């Protein structure tokens, strides 16, 4: 019995994954990043498959663009994803789309794992370690050290500071939270008129500490056509390892 199995036997909490795939993909040069093929399968199929295989996930909600809901439902039937509870249309912003996913979860779910639909190379191991950390401390996410030197600039492009690279991390998904805390964080964000690029930011604004686990450089997000090329080669390397 491995570490996850021993931990989960003692401290299991029902966990739903909300896979957010409602973005416009503005930097994809006209390509639909969710339905683009990697290793012969759509990006979103790879993402769902990782959560389908994870022992930490009890159900999956996919949030898609309204015009793609039926297409994604057909894909789920084609690949036989049994954990998918529903595919729901997203909102105009990430905040609204995450809310749509949270509202579609079963009432007994205590944890919510929020995942970018365009991260097809996430693994069950990363998912399970993030969930374990969230059980311990309410909020967790995978991250990797920043390699490049980062500059903070003003609106003229003038450098105003250089943060210490050793303290910086690039955060990935899934970001896993106690569901009720995440709902409270997003409600506060809506009330305050705040927008955040990830769910951790909303939790931090609520005063909740987020704890990071080790992510993977392979857990990349498909943002540009180059990322599709990189993902293809990473997947090929995995299959031939």
Q: What percentage of the chain carries pLDDT values higher than 70? A: 97
Q: Is there a contact between 109 and 59 (Cβ–Cβ < 8 Å)? A: yes
By CB atoms closer than 10 A (0-12, 13-18, 19+), residue 85 is middle
pLDDT at 62 exceeding the cut of 80: yes
Q: Is there a contact between 119 and 126 (Cβ–Cβ < 8 Å)? A: no
At 214, which helix (H) or strand (E)?
A: strand 211-214
Question: For the chain, what is the mean pLDDT?
Answer: 92
C-alpha to C-alpha distance for 216 and 172, rounded to whole angstroms: 9
pTM over 0.85: yes
Beta strands in the chain (DSSP E): 15-21, 37-38, 41-42, 59-64, 84-89, 111-116, 139-145, 152-153, 159-161, 169-171, 175-178, 211-214
- Going from N- to C-terminal start, the domains of the chain cover 13-239
Per-residue pLDDT of 98-128, as tens digits, reads 999 999 999 999 999 999 999 999 999 999 9
> CA triplet 69, 221, 236: central angle to 5 degrees?
100
> Which pLDDT score is estimated for 4?
77
> Which pLDDT score is estimated for 192?
85
Q: How many helices and strands, by DSSP H and E, does the chain display? A: 8, 12
Q: How far apart are the first and last CA of the chain?
A: 24
> Which pLDDT score is estimated for 26?
65
At 69, which helix (H) or strand (E)?
A: helix 69-79
C-alpha to C-alpha distance for 166 and 49, rounded to whole angstroms: 34
Per-residue pLDDT of 186-211, as tens digits, reads 888 888 888 788 899 999 988 999 99
> Which pLDDT score is estimated for 28?
65
Longest C-alpha distance within the chain, in Å?
57
Topology of domain 13-239 in CATH is: Spore Coat Polysaccharide Biosynthesis Protein SpsA; Chain A (3.90.550)
Residue range 75-85: mean pLDDT, rounded = 97
Q: Is there a contact between 4 and 128 (Cβ–Cβ < 8 Å)? A: yes
pLDDT at 218 exceeding the cut of 70: yes
Distances (CA, A) of 50 to 57, 73, 92: 10, 17, 27
Per-residue pLDDT of 4-39, as tens digits, reads 777 777 778 999 999 999 876 666 666 788 999 999
> Minimal CA–CA distance to 19: which of 173, 170, 123, 130?
173
C-alpha to C-alpha distance for 198 and 110, rounded to whole angstroms: 20
C-alpha to C-alpha distance for 171 and 39, rounded to whole angstroms: 25
In this structure, the number of other CB atoms found within 10 A of the CB of residue 149 comes to 10
Q: What is the DSSP letter of 166?
A: G
């Amino acid at each position: 019995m491995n570490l996850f199995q021993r931990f989960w036997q003692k401290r299991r909490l029902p966990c739903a994954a909300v896979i957010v795939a409602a973005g416009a993909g503005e930097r994809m040069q006209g390509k639909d990043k969710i339905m683009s093929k990697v290793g012969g399968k759509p990006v979103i199929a790879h993402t769902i498959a990782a959560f389908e295989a994870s022992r930490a996930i009890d159900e999956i909600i996919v949030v898609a663009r309204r015009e793609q809901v039926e297409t994604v439902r057909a894909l789920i039937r084609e690949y036989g994803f049994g954990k998918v509870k529903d595919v729901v249309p997203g909102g105009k912003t990430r905040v609204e789309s995450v809310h749509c996913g949270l509202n579609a979860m079963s009432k007994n779910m205590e944890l919510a794992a929020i995942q970018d639909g365009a991260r097809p190379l996430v693994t069950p191991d990363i998912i399970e370690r993030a969930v374990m950390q969230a059980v311990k401390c309410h909020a967790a996410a995978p991250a990797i050290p920043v390699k490049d030197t980062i500059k903070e600039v003003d609106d003229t492009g003038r450098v105003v500071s250089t943060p210490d690279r050793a303290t910086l991390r690039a955060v990935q998904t899934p970001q896993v939270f106690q569901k009720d805390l995440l709902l409270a964080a997003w409600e506060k964000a809506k009330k305050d008129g705040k927008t955040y690029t990830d769910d951790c930011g909303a939790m931090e604004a609520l005063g909740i500490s987020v704890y990071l686990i080790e992510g993977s450089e392979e857990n990349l997000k498909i943002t540009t056509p180059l990322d599709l090329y990189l993902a293809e080669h990473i997947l090929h390397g995995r299959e031939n390892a």
